[in-house]
C-alpha cells in the first residue's frame, strides 16, 4: 500500500491510500487507527504533503563506501548518526530555501525508513514489525557549513532541508532498490541500497539502543556518491525505486 498525506478543503489535512482512480481519503492515522471514507481525490487535484510529520529525523552518515570515498573519509566501524529537526521537513513541490549563510548547498538522495511503533532496544531480527514503510528523502546539506562547524546540526538543520515523499510504501524489501537524484533532469546520483554499509535492521537496532523511536519518526539511511550543488532556479528530484519521486524547486532565501 502507498500512504500519503493530502490537503483537502482549506486547512484540513488527511491521510490517504493510493488507489487506481485516486487517493482514498481516510479518517484517523495509520500510526494509530484509520478507516477509509467514501471520498476519493483524483491525482490531478491532490495536493500532497510530506507523508509523515516526525518528532525527529535520525540520519546516518557515510553509509555508502563510494560517498565516504568522495568525502575523503574512512568507512566507520559503527554507524555515525546525527539528527535533523522536524522543522526541516517539507513535502513534494515545496521550495527548498537556500540560506544566505551558505554558498554551497548539496542534494543527498536517501532511502527513508518510517517507524510505525514505539521502538526501544530492539534487536535487528525483531525490527520488521516496527517499520510502517519507506519513503524517499533528500538530506539537503550546507556543505561549507558542515566543513566549517565540524559537527552537523547547522549544516543539516535549516528549515526546508528535509524533503520527504511522495508516499510511504508499506510493502517493500529495502534491499536492492535503485536510488537516483536528478537536477533539472540531469542525473547526479545513481546508487543501489544493496551498497549500504549498514542495512536497515542494523541501523534501527543501533539507533534504538540510543534513543526511543516514536511512531512517525524517520531514519535516513545515507547517500551514495555524486552529491553536488543546487542553486536557485533548479528543480531537484530524488527517486527511490518502487516508492517514487519527491521533486522540489530551489529558491534563494534572505
Residues 221/209, Cβ–Cβ less than 8 Å:
no
Provide the minimum distance between the beta carbon of 223 and Zn ion in the complex, in angstroms, as a whole number: 5
Residues 27/35, Cβ–Cβ less than 8 Å:
yes
User: Is the Cβ of residue 108 or residue 217 nearer to Zn ion in the bound state?
Assistant: 108
Q: Which residues contact 93 (CB under 8 A, 6 or more apart)?
A: 48, 247, 248, 249
User: Is the Cβ of residue 2 or residue 143 nearer to Zn ion in the bound state?
Assistant: 143
Provide the minimum distance between the beta carbon of 182 and Zn ion in the complex, in angstroms, as a whole number: 17
Q: How far is 216 from 89, CA to CA, in rounded Å?
A: 12
User: Is the Cβ of residue 131 or residue 140 nearer to Zn ion in the bound state?
Assistant: 140
Looking at beta carbons, which residue is closest to Zn ion? 139
User: Within a 13 Å sphere around the CA of 221, how many CA atoms are in the beta-carbon half?
Assistant: 29
User: Is the Cβ of residue 8 or residue 83 nearer to Zn ion in the bound state?
Assistant: 83
Provide the minimum distance between the beta carbon of 138 and Zn ion in the complex, in angstroms, as a whole number: 9
Q: How far is 153 from 144, CA to CA, in rounded Å?
A: 13
> Using CB under 5 A as the criterion, which residues of the chain lie in contact with Zn ion when the complex forms?
108, 139, 223
Q: How far is CA 12 from CA 8, 29, 47, 202, in A?
A: 5, 14, 11, 38
Provide the minimum distance between the beta carbon of 192 and Zn ion in the complex, in angstroms, as a whole number: 16
User: Is the Cβ of residue 6 or residue 155 nearer to Zn ion in the bound state?
Assistant: 155
Q: How far is 244 from 210, CA to CA, in rounded Å?
A: 31
Provide the minimum distance between the beta carbon of 73 and Zn ion in the complex, in angstroms, as a whole number: 13
Amino acid at each position: 500500500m502507498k500512504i500519503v498525506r493530502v490537503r483537502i478543503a482549506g486547512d484540513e489535512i488527511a491521510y490517504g491510500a493510493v488507489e487506481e482512480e485516486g487517493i482514498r481519503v481516510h479518517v484517523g492515522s495509520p500510526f494509530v487507527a484509520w478507516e477509509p471514507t467514501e471520498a476519493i481525490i483524483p491525482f490531478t487535484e491532490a495536493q500532497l504533503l510530506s507523508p509523515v510529520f516526525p518528532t525527529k529525523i535520525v540520519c546516518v552518515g557515510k553509509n555508502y563506501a563510494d560517498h565516504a570515498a568522495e568525502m575523503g573519509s574512512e568507512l566507520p566501524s559503527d554507524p555515525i548518526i546525527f539528527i535533523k529537526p522536524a522543522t526541516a521537513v517539507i513535502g513534494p513541490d515545496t521550495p527548498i530555501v537556500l540560506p544566505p549563510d551558505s554558498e554551497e548547498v548539496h542534494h543527498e538522495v536517501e532511502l527513508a525508513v518510517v517507524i510505525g511503533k514505539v521502538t526501544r532496544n530492539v534487536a535487528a531480527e525483531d525490527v520488521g514489525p516496527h517499520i510502517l514503510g519507506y519513503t524517499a528523502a533528500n538530506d539537503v546539506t550546507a556543505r561549507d557549513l558542515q566543513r566549517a562547524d565540524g559537527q552537523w546540526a547547522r549544516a543539516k538543520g535549516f528549515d526546508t532541508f528535509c524533503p520527504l515523499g511522495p508516499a510511504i510504501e508499506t510493502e517493500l524489501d529495502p534491499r536492492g532498490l535503485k536510488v537516483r537524484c536528478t537536477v533539472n533532469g540531469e542525473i547526479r546520483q545513481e546508487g543501489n541500497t544493496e551498497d549500504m554499509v549498514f542495512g536497515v535492521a542494523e541501523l534501527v537496532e543501533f539507533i534504538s539502543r540510543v534513543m526511543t523511536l516514536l511512531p512517525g519518526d524517520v531514519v535516513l539511511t545515507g547517500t551514495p556518491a555524486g552529491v553536488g550543488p543546487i542553486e536557485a532556479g533548479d528543480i531537484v528530484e530524488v527517486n527511490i525505486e518502487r516508492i517514487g519521486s519527491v521533486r522540489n524547486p530551489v529558491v534563494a532565501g534572505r
